[in-house]
Amino acid sequence: MLDYKKIKLDFPILQTQMNGKPLVFLDSAASSQKPQKVIDASSDFYRCRNANIHRGAYRLSYEATDLYELTRTKVKEFINAREPEEIIFTRNTTESINLIAYSYAIKFLKEGDEILVSEMEHHSNLVPWMIVAQKKGVKIKHIPLTEDYQYDYEKIPDVLTERTKVISVAHMSNAIGTIHDLKKISYYAKQVNAIFVVDGAQGACHLPVDVQEIDCDFYAMSAHKMLGPTGVGVLYGKRELLEMMDPFMGGGDMILTVWKDGYKPAPLPNKFEAGTPNIAGVVAYAVALDYLKSIGIENIHQHEVEILQYAIPKLKEIPFVRLFGTEDFSKRGGVISFLVEGVHPHDIGTILDQEGIAIRAGHHCCEPLMKKIGIPGTARASFYLYNGIEDVDALIKGIEKVIEIFKLKEKRYITVQK
């Protein structure tokens, strides 16, 4: 395993307490914690280099611009894009996917065309396409799922047609941790000449990403899930597609020139970056990328798999606990979604909170998946590079406390099942 105890020392918040107990943070799928270096980079920018970018004719502005554009280059290298101009900064993954929906899909899709998603997607990778469908008369179709909630790749050809124009899927499920085979989906997209969009919010933080190898047309991700600040997102897009698309927003810095009755957009990437961005956040994001690179994304993923291999057998031994997701660890990231029979997920979260354990409870912005399973939601523990087996042990003790408080007994469990 990674030397997670040493890594944990880099994160100030992980040295604190919650409700009088040492903090056990198991909600990194929602937003990761930040190492001191990233926190310092943000405050250092405001303290020493604060200026607007691209337009100032003075040294501070030049320095701020250089730092901002350096991050773009680092992102390009991190995901192996062809050129920095294919990297667009947004606020988050949600905005990145909306940008594709409005600037590509609404422009180019026609009534009767089809968008292929799945019932496992985060709402951010569903609702924008629903908006497209409402505006353009487009049909939304779904990739079939297996019994353990993986994409059923053999059945994808059954839902593909010549009208399929967009295929948009998650790299990894935020709700149950399933890792999807993007190369297979890319292959199918090419068969029908559909654009291939990847929601990488849970991918880039846990898994190596090579957009050229995947051959996706777009890849979206968020800095805050990968040790960076909130308010910074990335959209990778192939240049030839970005050139075809209209600007997402109008305003300063996205124009080349403006007349009294028209405008000409700026070249990439400025075309899609209207207004003053989160400069300090983008600058700090570069430090987060350097930190992840120093640890190694492959090592982080392997560390999470080892945590799962320790945690899941132990959780399966606890009466009343129901687990969700595949048990094939080669196709699963560091997420454990579970229920305690007869206990609402919010009650589980509240009791664990009193023990200093931070988890997520609810539908995880995946209501269609929860409806398909037939449950209102789950409790979700998600792991990252700073978690270790003692965090799993704390979670198990917390779940046992839930069972104790609710006075669950085998007889009651059998009755509930009937």
- Based on the fold, state whether residues 285 and 325 are members of the same structural domain: no
Mean pLDDT of 399-407: 95
pLDDT at 156: 97
- In this model, does residue 385 exceed pLDDT 60? yes
> DSSP readout, 282-294?
HHHHHHHHHHHHH
Parent domain of 347: 4-30+296-417
Mean pLDDT of 177-197: 98
Mean pLDDT of 111-132: 98
pLDDT at 412: 41
| From 48, 216, 365, 366, active-site residue | 365
CATH code for the domain of 360:
3.90.1150.10
- Based on the fold, state whether residues 250 and 312 are members of the same structural domain: no
Q: What is the mean pLDDT of the chain?
A: 96
Q: State the pTM of this model.
A: 0.96
Q: Using pLDDT thresholds of 50, 70 and 90, give the confidence band for residue 413.
A: very low
- Based on the fold, state whether residues 288 and 355 are members of the same structural domain: no
Task: Give residue-wise pLDDT tens across range 19-51.
Answer: 999 999 999 999 999 999 999 999 999 999 999
pLDDT at 168: 98
- In this model, does residue 96 exceed pLDDT 90? yes
Last residue of a domain, one of 262, 293, 324: 293
Residues 6+ apart with CB under 8 A from 338: 315, 321, 322, 323, 324, 378, 379, 380, 381, 399
> DSSP readout, 76-130?
HHHHT-S-GGGEEEESSHHHHHHHHIIIIIHHH--TT-EEEE-TTS-GGGTHHHH
d(CA 20, CA 2): 28
Mean pLDDT of 277-288: 98
- Based on the fold, state whether residues 82 and 159 are members of the same structural domain: yes
- Based on the fold, state whether residues 252 and 306 are members of the same structural domain: no
CB 170, CB 180: distance < 8 Å: yes
- Based on the fold, state whether residues 266 and 337 are members of the same structural domain: no
Mean pLDDT of 58-65: 96
Task: Give residue-wise pLDDT tens across range 296-319.
Answer: 999 999 999 999 999 999 999 999
- Based on the fold, state whether residues 195 and 208 are members of the same structural domain: yes
pLDDT at 55: 85
- The whole-angstrom distance between residue 243's C-alpha and the CA centroid of its chain comes to 26
What is the number of H-type helices and E-type strands within the chain? 16, 17
Task: Give residue-wise pLDDT tens across range 212-250.
Answer: 999 999 999 999 999 999 999 999 999 999 999 999 999
Mean pLDDT of 201-205: 98
| Size of the chain, expressed as the number of residues it contains | 418
Whether 365 sits among the annotated catalytic residues: the reply is: yes
pLDDT at 409: 75
- Based on the fold, state whether residues 211 and 233 are members of the same structural domain: yes
pLDDT at 408: 85
- Based on the fold, state whether residues 349 and 244 are members of the same structural domain: no
- Based on the fold, state whether residues 240 and 275 are members of the same structural domain: yes
d(CA 296, CA 206): 10
- Based on the fold, state whether residues 276 and 366 are members of the same structural domain: no
CATH code for the domain of 153:
3.40.640.10
- In this model, does residue 362 exceed pLDDT 50? yes
- Based on the fold, state whether residues 90 and 221 are members of the same structural domain: yes
Last residue of a domain, one of 240, 266, 293: 293
pLDDT at 410: 58
Last residue of a domain, one of 274, 293, 312: 293
Number of compact structural domains in the chain = 2
pLDDT at 415: 29
